[in-house]
Structures are given as C-alpha cells and as structure tokens.
Structure 1
Amino acid sequence: MIKMDNNSTKIAVLGAGVVGMTAAKLMQDSLRNAEITIIADKFAEDTTSMVAAGIFRPGTSFRGRTKEITQKWMRDSWDYWQDILRSSEASNAGVMQVDGYIFSKDNYHVTRNHLMEDVVPLYRPVEENELKLCGEGFKYGSYFSTIKAGCDCYLPWVERKFTAQGGKLSKSKLESFASLTRKYDLVLNCTGLGAKYLCDDHDLVPIRGQIIKARAPWLKTAIYGDYDTYIIPGMDGVATLGGTRQYDSYNLNVCRHDANAILERCCEIVPSLKKADIVGHKVGLRPHRVPVRVEGELINSLKVVHCYGHGGYGVMCAPGTALQAVQLGIDLLKSNTKNKI
C-alpha cells in the first residue's frame, strides 16, 4: 500500500460498524497526517456489527466482482486478524483462535467451503467417530481451525486507537453526499444497509438475523448444523446461538417463535445448552449485496469510495475489503477526475 503524508487532506468515513471502523484505522495508518472523521448515527453497541458472532467462516456465495478479488479479500482479511491474534493486544481486541465443526444430515456440499479451505491452516473431512459428537443422523462433516473477532471488544479497541492518533468522531445522520462536497477531499462510504437509501442502491437487500446469547463457558468449539444452526463460543464464556436468514425482512423485533426454534435446534446438537443461562436476544439486518460493492466514484465533484454489502460476513471480511477501499481512495486523491474506478 502507498503511504502518503498530507496534513491538508480531509477524509470522512461514513459508518461506524466493523467495516467503517477498520477502514478508518487503515486509512489513518496510510495517510499519517490526514484529518479523518468517522460520521455515523450509530456507534458501538447500536451497530449491526455488535450482533454478529464474528467467526471467520464466509458463506460460499460471498464474492466481489471477480474470483481473484474475492480470494484477495479472504487472504488479506485472514492476515489482518492473524496479526492481531499474534500480538499482545489480542484479548483487548477480542480476537481468539477457535476450532469448529460443520455437520449435515443431508448435504455433503454444505460442509465444504472453497473460500476457507485454501486460507485457514486446517480444513478436513471429519472422522467417522466425530459424526457422533452431535447426536444421531449426521452423515457428513468437516473440521476446521479459524479465528473469531468479537465486536463487543474489537469496535471499542479500534476506536480507541483511532482517536488516540487524532481521529475524530461525529454522531449525525447523513441524508446525502451533497453536504460533504466542500468539506472533504475524500469520502469512504461504509454505511452498510444505509447505502440502500444514500446511494439509491436497489441491489442492497436486508437479511434479517436473530440470535441468542447464552452463558456456556464450557463450550470451546464452534459447531454448525443444518438450517442455519450454529453455536459459537465467546471469549467471555457467552456463546452465540443462531440463527435466521430472512431475506428482505426489515423486522428488528425479537420473534419468540424464531427464538424457540433456534434454541431447540441448538440444544438438539449440543444438549448441555439446556442448562445454559440465556443472557439476551438480538436482531440485526445484514446488508446483503452480490457482488459486494468496493469501487470509487465521483458524485458531482466529490471523490467517494464505496465499501458495503457484506451481508453476514462483514466482521470476517471487513479488513480485506477495507484495504482495497483505502487503496482506491489514495488512488482517487492522486488522480484526475474520472466517473468510476
């Protein structure tokens, strides 16, 4: 990545979820003396990112404009999280190593993941005896080694680092890009589902997710099953139980029927969860777009780089997409006017 020193450059990052926060910090590391402001109407616990379990296991439908771009996002994201994991800041940032299983009673193909298999250190078919770890009837499975980044720790951690180096935060709701034209040299648009309205992007669709937080400190391994069932341990002993994947739903209310179904499916796989204390229920709207939009654009005279549409994979894939967005932003700052990069 090209690094520049420019104390007159003013940059706005729109959105304070995992994508926006990560992009802002990466931009700050690249443009040491630029004035960078994160503008958002929601921070920390109010963001969709806080609902996510944050495990590095992208869905196989996740993609950028090309296969090569998608693969680079995966590798760059993995390296970013691994750098934190190997540092003394891992626990403060909420990054931990976790192993996982994915089981299925009906479909072998759902236990494979071409986006992960060539990135994580271990991804293998399960042994025959491992199929019995989650009860009867499972025919297929894979075991993998990965990482988890909890946004309850990561977002405050990266925000502290950003502000400690002079980054600014502004809580406000942006209705259009027009108000930013004369104030900033560059804008990174990381508004997630908000981009549907800000950019009039009809390709961006919410996918509703509901999860349960349960205190189960004895769980050390992530487990996936059929029907969007997953059990993901947390660093603090609170596991994430899921889930739902409801296309084009804007319902942010907790549904007791979804909660009952989630708990029933998870307890069927891991019976010990029946004794777990329920900490809470959460709902988030994942910003789903195919492909994920990472591209530069001139809106009137304003230089904008879009980085949104990650669906349910924003936490794990934020660094890779943010790195590309930052590079596009640097290129835009150095370039003459063009309609699109």
Structure 2
Amino acid sequence: MPSDVLIVGAGVSGLTTGFQLAQQGLRVRIRAEDAPGRTNSAAAGAIWDPIYAEHPRVGVWAARSYEVFARLTEEGFPGVRMVNGVEASRDPMETPDWARELPGYRECTLAELPPGFVHGWHYRAPIIDMPPYLAQLELLVRELGGEFEFGAHLSALAEANAPIVINCSGAGAHDLVPDPEVVPIRGQLVEIRNPGMAEFFAEHTPELGEMIYLLPQGDVLLLGGSAEPGVADPAPDPAVATAIQARCGDIFPEIRTAEVLGHRGGIRPSRPKIRLELEEIDGRYIVHNYGHSGAGVSLSWGCADDVTAIVLGLLGR
C-alpha cells in the first residue's frame, strides 16, 4: 500500500514529524541516507536552548517542545531528563524573557558565577541523550506502521516521488532543494567521565562560536562547544577537542584530569531563517522543515505540530 507522506531525512526533525503524522493514522515512509543513529542529530549535545534559530514562531515551537520533553521525562522516555543548571554571559545583559518563564528560574549572584562571567540565571531544562532517544522514536514510528528506507541517496528533492513530501534534510537541503542559504557549521563535543557534576552550565553568546557548556548525562559529561562555518565534514578535529576541554577546565578545574571517553562531531544546518512552509511543484506538495541551526532538538515538537497541521489540511482533515 503506498504511503500518504514521504519524509526525507531521519534526524530529529524527520523522526518527530514522522511520529506525529503516524499518530494521525497516516501511512508514513521515511527515506534517508543514514539511519537515525548515524545522523547529525545523534551527535548533538541536545540541551533545550532555542537562542540560535530565527523565525517568528521560534517562541511557540520552543515552548511546545519544552512541554513535550517535560512530559516524556515523567513517562521515562529513553534519553530524556530534566536538569537544573545555569546559563551565563561574560557581558552585561538583560535576562531573556523566555528564560524568566522557565521552571526553576532565578537570577544568579556574582558569587555563584565562574570567573569571567558577570551575569547569569538558573533554570531547569531538558537535556537529551540523543542515540537512545532517536532509537526510541524510530521504534515508535515503526510500531505505528511507518516504513524506513536507509542508504537512499537523493541528488535532488525532485527525485522524492510522492504526492506529499516532507523535507527534513537538514544541511543536505543546500544541495537537495537546492538552497544556497543553508550553510554547514561543524560542531564538536568531548565525552568525559563525569567527575560528579549534576547541573549543567551553558555560556550565553550572541551567536554560535567558541563557547563553554557542560551537559551531565549520568556517568558521562559532555563538554562543548565549537562552531566551524563552512565545514561539512563531521569528523572531530583533535585540536578543537583539546581546546574545548581546556576552556572548560579553565572554569571547572576538575575537568582537566577527567578521563576522555570519546568525541562527537556533527553538522548544524545553519540558515538565516528556519524554512517551514508549503511549496507546490509540478502538482506535488513539498513541506519544508529545515534550517534550524543549533536548535533542531529544541524546536522539534513544535515544528512537527505545524508540519502535521499543513499535511492534514492538504488531505482535507
């Protein structure tokens, strides 16, 4: 039986959208070059933090995703946990309005901040261990009747032969659409044995770049981060990894001697503005859902809701 919808991409956007559509009773097929565990989404540190994405609906999408992640934590969904922590800036600034509305919010005192930081706030945020999270999402899509086709290379989106195509191709949209506004940005993380940190720390910066963040995931602590615009090879760079650990160790000395367990590298699909919209080409409908920069996980459930509404409207439901 033919599918109602073909989704291109099996990262967090593709899987979340596929799950939402399958829950509506639609026949979903997901086509991707890589299985979920090998996508760029699997390499993400994945703390809920929507600040690096641009779109008028970012606030709505982020709030919806926070709500879902909080519920999934209560349900024991693999890989999802709510963690207390601090976001801090090296420059004087006003706390963003979105932060003031979060559970656990309060302003930091200077004494609570690491050296070099002058402003910060406490809050509670979802942190997602992406490999088990993606594996569970894939399982749920399959249980709802969704089909997967991996190893399927597309040279152009026009090759996706279906009446309704959902484009969740991430950085691949640069060539598939093609969309020259999509720029790959390589990011890296260092996995170390957690020396005992139970709270996250995230450096607030105006744009992606060299920053410090520490994301506890049980016995593992993820250290970040980096941003290399134009680099499309996800393989980690040892020099960048060394610099990440050194930066984190400058403010949290116990990290300097912690055992390194592994490295992660992935590509963020940077775009001046997220593209979530319907396009009609030669009698076929394409719903684009890409260009989330560093906020794909943080916006995933909200964006999937909007895509689902568009598809149901096309089907007269």
Deviation at 1:126, TM superposition (A): 0.2
Partner of 1:250, secondary structure, is coil
Structure-1 residue corresponding to 2:217: 234
Matched, 1:245 2:227: yes
Number of positions where the alignment pairs a residue of Structure 1 with one of Structure 2: 311
- The alpha-carbon distance between structure 1 residues 173 and 283, as it changes in their structure 2 partners (threshold 3 A), is same
Matched, 1:21 2:15: yes
Residue 144 of structure 1, aligned match among 111, 123, 126: 123
Q: Unmatched 5+ residue regions in structure 2?
A: none
Structure-2 residue corresponding to 1:63: 54
Structure-2 residue corresponding to 1:158: 137
Deviation at 1:324, TM superposition (A): 0.6
Structure-1 residue corresponding to 2:315: 333
Distance 2:131 2:308 in 1: 24
Structure-2 residue corresponding to 1:3: none
Partner of 2:243, secondary structure, is helix
Partner of 1:63, secondary structure, is coil
Matched, 1:86 2:69: no
CA contact (8 A) 1:100 1:222 kept: yes
Deviation at 1:248, TM superposition (A): 2.1
Counterpart code for 2:230: D
Runs of 4+ in structure 1 deviating by more than 6 angstroms, as ranges, are none
Structure-2 residue corresponding to 1:200: 178
Deviation at 1:128, TM superposition (A): 3.6
**TM-superposition CA deviations, 1:99-156 (whole Å, max 9, x none):** 1112334x022x73344433x213321024312xx3x343222211111122111100
Distance 1:309 1:216 in 2: 32
Structure-2 residue corresponding to 1:297: 279
**TM-superposition CA deviations, 1:79-107 (whole Å, max 9, x none):** 111221121x33xx2110101112334x0
Q: Give 1:1-341 correspondences, 5 Å limit.
A: 10-30=4-24, 32=25, 34-59=26-51, 61-64=52-55, 66=56, 69-87=57-75, 89-90=76-77, 93-105=78-90, 107-109=91-93, 112-118=95-101, 120-131=102-113, 134=114, 136-171=115-150, 172-181=152-161, 184-216=162-194, 218-225=196-203, 227-235=210-218, 237-334=219-316
Distance 2:154 2:264 in 1: 25
CA contact (8 A) 1:9 1:185 kept: no
Counterpart code for 2:4: K
Distance 2:127 2:260 in 1: 21
Counterpart code for 1:86: E
- The alpha-carbon distance between structure 1 residues 130 and 12, as it changes in their structure 2 partners (threshold 3 A), is same
- The alpha-carbon distance between structure 1 residues 295 and 276, as it changes in their structure 2 partners (threshold 3 A), is same
Counterpart code for 1:15: G
How does the TM-score come out when normalised to structure 2? 0.92
Counterpart code for 2:166: L
**TM-superposition CA deviations, 1:137-176 (whole Å, max 9, x none):** 4322221111112211110001111111211110111223
RMSD: 1.9
**TM-superposition CA deviations, 1:25-83 (whole Å, max 9, x none):** 001112x1x32111001112211011111111122x4222x2xx222111211111122
